[in-house]
Chains A and B, each alone.
Chain A
Amino acid sequence: MDFALNDLLSMLAATIRVSTPLIFAAMAGIFSERSGIVDISLEGKLLAGAFAAASVAAVTGSPWLGLLAAIGVNMLLSLIHGFASITHNGDQVVSGVAINIIVSGLTVVLGMAWFHRAGQTPTLSSDARFMPIDLPGTEALSSIPVLGDIYSKLISGHNLLVYVAFLSVAVTWWVLFRTRFGLRLRAVGENPKAVDTAGISVAFLRYRAVLIAGILTGIGGTYISIAQNASFIRDMSAGQGYIALAAMIFGKWKPLPAMFACFLFGFLDALAMRLQGVSLPYIGEVPVQLIQASPYILTVILLAGFVGKAIAPKADGVPYVKER
């Protein structure tokens, strides 16, 4: 019985670790899409953030400067996305696809030019990374049977950015639903004309929304390269941006449900790792690929409207053209 609990706890802890970048990207997606800007480039931004953080941390030895660089680079990418889709009313999906392709190429090109390794950055020492931290009281509580295990193995012992991810969900909810800025942001995603009529700049609101998305994906990217791993590896975002996009839709563009969708998809990922080559009683060997594909399959089923309905913000993806 004790063994089963330990197993479950390590599984859940793995889920949290895998879900963290998804949560950052999903919150970024919520800010962007709630303001009416579709962001396919979450994937590229995670990758760009991961590269910037790992490069700067490798050169300076400071994870904090790495984090700052990742946020800066991703805010720049957000500005490009905004310039195309807000200022020039360009196709937001096309702009996002362009950013994804540019980043996937540029990270390898720059990595090669700067570090002379094929799409990799030098391996970081633990000083240059965000390392797991023990929350206060882990020692004292460890003697308590079940509760102590849960505290020390599941809640404590993650790196700082994991806790920031949880915080970002709360902050996203508070900003969107409890501040004037959030009210206007949601309004501009539903009915930009009404916001414009009220004398509020649609473009400025949307620019702020995509910049916030840049900050969040910057933290997410940092987590991938210098917290979860010890260096940047080419294409290391590996579709997590798209899974986050799916999680955002799955959570119906709401912070808390989106977070749970991230946990669900993260859990499936952890499960796939654990079930590799394992034969289950009665079922036999479950194909790992099926579990890995399940976030996408589940999202398609949800989008089809067979289980509940995922309704996007009304003006999502529609450029706002002011009449003159």
Chain B
Amino acid sequence: MSSTKQPLPAWADILLIPLINLCIAFAVSSMIIYLIGENPLEAFKVMIEGAFGTSEGLGYTLYYATNFIFTGLAVAIAFHAMLFNIGGEGQAYIGGLGVAIVLLALDQTLPFWALFPLALIAGMLFGAAWAAIPAYLQAYRGSHIVITTIMFNFIAANLMVYLLVNIFIVPGSMTPESRVFSEAAQLPFMHEILGWLGITISESPLNLSFIVAIVVSILFWIYVWHTRWGYALRAVGFSESAATYAGIDPKKIIMVTMLISGGLAGLAGLNEVMGVQHKLMLDFVAGYGFTGIAVALMGRNHPVGIILSSILFGALFQGGAELAFEMPSISKEMVFVIQGLIILFSGALAYMSKPWLEKLFSLFASKKHSETEVD
């Protein structure tokens, strides 16, 4: 009896299980909404319409998705090397600092086409630098990267408060914010770009960094699956000792992977600082680093999956804001509950349904088998 268990077909593993997990997460969320005294179906309808119903809503959805693609890719590349980078939050924050430093220093002298690549590189470099110390400590001193990256999130938060209150603040102002960048240092919004092409859409914070996110996703795919570095990275993730025998230095791979991871997270700072806020301010990361964990888990660490789940989470954030507006008894923090449930069911409990499915599939398989035997 027990030997009839067969491995699941690939489509079930890749599509069915994530779908089941998502359904469980939404079912539990519905239960909570029901307990609050609202109709869950009605609530999800409001969310979907808010996220996709108008071009403005869609713009917001994709703007949130931009951040999640960056932080999701950051978590994913580390996962491929079996590293858990929980510090996307801090790396994005410091990445934004890098972007702001470049723009504040040069926005009076350089044109946009020069500022854009400089800011992009600065964001990546600063994000990478913030990941460098935890990476070094993991690779060469054996300190657990989960703990060190958590600690670095808090150090980043304190550092940014200090810098904004003492250095970047506009003299005489009470709010800890930098001055607004000049026009040349602002990424064009998508409604502007499409406007030049003669297409009109509603205004939204969606900007050029969405295109950057798509390009980076493609580069991610090439790097991880079609270069020797990506091969080495996955080899280390699969088995550190096997990789060592194959002549790969795991320490170096850990360093490089974490630097890329931090750089990717830093780009979320580009979207926020250069694309939307046009100034450096407190807490612009707003949990996007943690959402990246959910996005990477749901997207199975693959760029296509990450883009799709980023759009799902973008819709959740945008729809959640709409929901709080339409149903005042549900606050917009409901989104975090749904997000947490998705992390729980598609991350920690990812394979809860697997034994059941395996039984189900082997049942079908044995039925087929017995039918053919009769023939």
Enumerate chain A interface residues (CB-CB to B < 8 A): 38, 40, 80, 83-85, 88, 90-95, 97-106, 108-110, 112-113, 118-119, 239, 242, 245-246, 249, 287, 289-290, 292-293, 296-297, 299-300, 303-305, 312
Check B36–A98 contact: CB distance below 8 A.
no
Instruction: Please state if A85 and B154 are interface contacts (CB–CB under 8 Å).
Output: no
In chain B, what residue has the closest Cβ to A95?
B348
Task: Assess the B144–A94 pair: CB atoms within 8 A.
Answer: no
Q: Is the CB of A102 within 8 A of B352?
A: no
Min distance, Cβ B337 to any Cβ of chain A, angstroms: 4
Q: Choose among B334, B343, B350 the residue with the greatest number of A CB atoms under 10 Å from its CB.
A: B343
Nearest-Cβ distance from residue B298 to partner chain A, whole angstroms: 12
Quick check: A303 and B148 within 8 Å, CB to CB? yes
Residue contacts A-B, CB under 8 angstroms, 25 given? A40-B150, A84-B348, A93-B84, A94-B293, A94-B297, A94-B347, A95-B348, A95-B349, A97-B347, A98-B340, A101-B343, A102-B337, A106-B333, A109-B32, A109-B337, A246-B151, A287-B162, A289-B165, A297-B151, A299-B147, A299-B151, A300-B143, A300-B148, A300-B155, A303-B137
Whether A108 lies near B348 (C-beta < 8 A) is: no
- B152 touches A (CB below 8 Å): yes
Asked if B74 is at the interface of the complex by the 8 Å CB criterion, the answer is no
Judge whether A289 and B349 touch: CB under 8 Å: no
Kindly state the separation between the CA atoms of A88 and B349 in the bound complex, as whole angstroms.
7
Residues of A within 8 A of B297 (CB): 94
Q: Does B330 contact A (CB under 8 A)?
A: yes
4 pairs of A and B residues whose beta carbons are closest in the complex: A105-B336, A102-B340, A95-B348, A101-B340
Determine if B109 is an interface residue (Cβ-Cβ < 8 Å).
Answer: no
Q: Is B141 an interface residue (CB 8 A)?
A: yes
Supposing A98-B347, A98-B348, A289-B162 touch, asked if A109 and B290 sit within 8 A by C-beta, the answer is no
Is A293 a contact partner of B337 (Cβ separation < 8 A)? no
Determine if B348 and A90 form an interchain contact, defined as CB atoms under 8 angstroms apart: yes
Inter-subunit contact A293/B352 (CB<8 Å)? no
CA–CA, A304 and B139, complex, Å: 11
Q: Is the interface of B mostly helix, strand, loop or mixed?
A: helix
Which residues 291-319 of B have a CB within 8 angstroms of A?
293, 297
Interface centre among A85, A103, A299, A303, by most chain B C-beta atoms within 10 angstroms, is A303
Which residues of chain B in 199-221 are interfacial with respect to chain A, using CB atoms and an 8 Å cutoff? none
Most buried by B among A40, A88, A108, A289: A289
Q: Considering the chains assembled together, what is the distance between the CA atoms of A88 and B346 in angstroms?
A: 12
Footprint of A on B, CB under 8 Å?
Answer: 32, 36-37, 84, 86, 133, 137, 141-144, 146-148, 150-152, 154-155, 158-159, 161-162, 165-166, 290, 293, 297, 329-331, 333-341, 343-344, 347-352
Contact B347 A303 (CB under 8 A): no
CB distance from A99 to the nearest CB of B (A): 7
- Known contacts A93-B146, A246-B151, A101 near B339 by CB under 8 Å: yes
CA distance A91 to B297 in the complex (A): 11
Given A84-B348, A289-B161; 14 other pairs, CB 8 A cutoff: A40-B146, A92-B348, A98-B341, A98-B343, A101-B290, A101-B343, A103-B340, A110-B36, A245-B150, A296-B155, A297-B155, A299-B147, A299-B151, A305-B143
Tell me what chain A mostly uses at the interface: helix, strand, loop, or mixed. Answer: helix
- Complex: how many Å from CA A229 to CA B337? 25
B141 neighbours in A (Cβ, 8 Å): 303-305
Known contacts A88-B352, A95-B347, A303 near B337 by CB under 8 Å: no
Q: For the complex, give the distance between the alpha carbons of A305 and B140 in Å.
A: 11
A298 (CB) vs chain B CBs: closest residue: B151
Contact (Cβ within 8 A) A106 B32 = yes
The CA of A268 and the CA of B27, in the complex, are separated in Å by: 44
Q: Are A91 and B347 in contact (CB under 8 A)?
A: yes
Cβ-defined contact, B162 with A98, below 8 A: no
The CA-CA distance from A95 to B350 in the complex, in Å, is: 11
Q: Are B144 and A293 in contact, CB atoms less than 8 angstroms apart?
A: no
Cβ A118 vs Cβ B147 within 8 A? no
The residue that B349 contacts in the complex, of A90, A93, A113, A249, with Cβ under 8 A, is A90
Which B residues touch A92, using CB under 8 A?
348
Contact of B331 among A101, A118, A303, A304 (CB under 8 A): A118
Which chain A residues border B351 with CB–CB below 8 Å? 88, 90
C-alpha spacing A84/B345, complex, angstroms:
9
Let me know if B290 and A303 touch, CB within 8 A.
no
Q: What CA separation (Å) do A100 and B148 show in the bound complex?
A: 18
With a cutoff of 8 Å between Cβ atoms, the chain A residues found around residue B158 in the complex are 289-290, 292-293
Contact (Cβ within 8 A) B37 A300: no
Residues of A within 8 A of B330 (CB): 109, 112-113
> Which A residue sits closest to B142, measured CB to CB?
A305
**A residues near B293, Cβ cutoff 8 Å:** 94, 97
Q: Which of A90, A100, A109, A118 has the most CB of B within 10 A?
A: A109
CB neighbours (8 Å) of B339 from chain A are 101, 105
